[in-house]
């Protein structure tokens, strides 16, 4: 009798362990607590001017890159955003190949998944599907894509221009800067990817103006 009970207990433990392992294998990452997304778009000409050794598609002359997809970041309303929430396996090759149409390097794709995607609660494939959806939602005003010479813009004008073009609240856009250059345009989106006002956790450039170099 004792032997039968012990055997049944062993079988139960083995079955429970296998079931748990299967669930761990198939489930998505549990999301970290976050309230909305920030879509980050980098101004390629400024980035390339400060990274002369970068020979990716973003910086190749003749590509005429303007705002380039950087990433989609889970964001908290009033706290630091969650980052690097789970171990990040390599992103599937077919997903990487597809995202290379929108993002400049494989390294950036893997970095964005590891640092931000693992906090979304989505699989890598679903996360990058959301990244692409968010990126394609934002329309860039023609005054930026048609820029032919270096020009300074007021931060207010940049944000108002994007708000008007996208029929969105002005507070949904934030400009970040580095040494007087526009670094990123950051777009605040709900979890359903609707425009929403950014909260104070998304910082804005303290300068009144930012410099934009023309696409090459």
Q: How many CA atoms lie within 13 A of 73 on its CB side?
A: 25
- Inform me whether the pLDDT recorded for 25 exceeds 90: no
Alpha carbon distance 164, 141 (integer Å): 9
Task: Give the Cα separation of 75 and 34 in Å (integer).
Answer: 5
Number of structural domains found in the chain: 1
Please state, in angstroms and rounded to a whole number, the distance separating the CA atoms of residues 213 and 216.
Answer: 9
Question: DSSP letter at 90?
Answer: P
The answer to whether position 28 is within a domain reads: no
- Give the whole-angstrom CA distance, residue 27 versus residue 16: 16
Per-residue pLDDT tens for 103-156?
999 999 999 999 999 999 999 999 999 999 999 999 999 999 999 999 999 999
Q: What per-residue confidence (pLDDT) applies to 30?
A: 59
Which residues carry out catalysis?
70, 112, 116
Q: Per-residue confidence at 78, pLDDT binned at 50, 70, 90? A: very high
Pairing relationship of beta strands 181-189 and 173-178 according to DSSP bridges: antiparallel
Residue 18 lies in a domain: no
Confirm whether 103 is domain-assigned.
Answer: yes
Is residue 15 a part of any domain in this protein? Answer: no
Instruction: Give the closest residue to 140 by CA, choosing from 161, 160, 157.
Output: 161
The owner of tokens 């170099």 is 213
Q: Give the pLDDT of residue 51.
A: 93
| 21 part of a folded domain | no
* b/e burial code for range 86-100 (CB count within 10 A of at least 16 → b): eebeebeeebbebbe
Cα gap 42→147, rounded to integer Å: 15
Environment class of 23 (CB within 10 Å of its CB; exposed 0-12, middle 13-18, buried 19+): exposed
Residue 163 resides in a domain: yes
Q: What is the pLDDT of residues 38-53, one digit of tens each?
A: 999 999 999 999 999 9
Average pLDDT of the residues in 69-86: 96
Residue 63's pLDDT band (cuts 50, 70, 90):
confident
194 is in which domain, residue-wise?
36-212
In a domain, 11, yes or no: no
Given a cut of 50, is residue 26 above it in pLDDT?
Answer: no
Quick: pLDDT tens for 162-216: 999 999 999 999 999 999 999 999 999 999 999 999 999 999 999 999 999 999 8
Domain with residue 116: its CATH number is: 3.90.730.10
């Amino acid at each position: 009798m004792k032997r039968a009970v012990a055997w049944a207990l062993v079988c139960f433990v083995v079955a429970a362990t296998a079931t748990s392992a299967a669930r761990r294998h198939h489930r998505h990452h549990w999301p970290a607590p976050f309230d909305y997304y920030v879509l980050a778009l980098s101004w390629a000409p400024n980035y390339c001017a400060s990274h002369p050794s970068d020979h990716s598609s973003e910086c190749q002359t003749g590509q005429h890159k303007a705002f380039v997809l950087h990433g989609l970041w889970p964001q908290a309303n009033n706290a630091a955003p969650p980052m690097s929430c789970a171990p990040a396996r390599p992103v599937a090759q077919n997903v990487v190949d597809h995202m290379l149409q929108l993002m400049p390097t494989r390294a950036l794709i893997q970095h964005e998944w590891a640092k931000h995607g693992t906090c979304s609660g989505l699989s890598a494939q679903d996360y990058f599907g959301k990244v692409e959806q968010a990126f394609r939602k934002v329309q860039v005003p023609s005054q930026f894509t048609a820029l032919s010479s270096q020009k300074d813009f007021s931060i207010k004008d940049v944000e108002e221009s994007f708000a008007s073009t996208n029929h969105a609240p002005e507070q949904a856009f934030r400009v970040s800067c580095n040494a007087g250059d526009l670094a990123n345009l950051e777009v605040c989106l709900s979890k359903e990817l609707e425009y929403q006002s950014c909260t104070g956790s998304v910082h804005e450039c303290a300068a009144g103006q930012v410099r934009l170099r023309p696409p090459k």
